[in-house]
């Protein structure tokens, strides 16, 4: 069971990035996938999550109007489209998975499998 996060980088304020979380060794049909972030000196916080087959989503307040989570079923991948990025969005972004198909919460404590992080840096 592996998750591979990618797509981070350096972007100017107001720009966009799309993060990818590719799963191998298991099918995301039966798992909820969440995106989380951790800025230096801060605790890891939830961003968004999406369930298995029915694709129900949940967002933390700061992400609701700017970020969109989606699934690429054929690719066994979950994406996080981030628009209107701000310097305060700078963090290492992680994806994680937990067995769940009906609903999800972007709470890092409930997720079992974690990918490595990808750095997102937003310059002002």
* 10 pLDDT higher than 80: yes
Q: Is 7 exposed, middle or buried (0-12, 13-18, 19+ CB in 10 A)?
A: middle
Find which of 22-31, 50-59, 89-98 is predicted with most confidence, using mean pLDDT.
Answer: 89-98
∠ CA 108-113-116 to the nearest 5 degrees?
A: 85
* CA 85/CA 67 separation, integer angstroms: 9
Q: Count other C-beta atoms under 10 Å from residue 55's C-beta.
A: 12
**Mean pLDDT within 94-103:** 91
């Amino acid at each position: 069971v592996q998750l591979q996060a990618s797509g981070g980088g350096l972007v100017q304020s107001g720009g966009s990035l799309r993060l990818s979380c590719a799963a191998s060794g298991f099918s995301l049909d039966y798992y909820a996938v969440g995106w989380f972030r951790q800025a230096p000196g801060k605790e890891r916080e939830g961003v968004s999550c999406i369930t298995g087959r029915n694709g129900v989503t949940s967002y933390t307040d700061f992400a609701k109007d700017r970020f969109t989570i989606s699934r690429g079923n054929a690719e066994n991948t979950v994406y996080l489209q981030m628009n209107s990025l701000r310097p305060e969005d700078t963090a290492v972004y992680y994806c994680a998975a937990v067995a769940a198909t009906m609903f999800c919460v972007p709470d890092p404590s409930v997720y079992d499998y974690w990918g490595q992080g990808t750095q997102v840096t937003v310059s002002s």
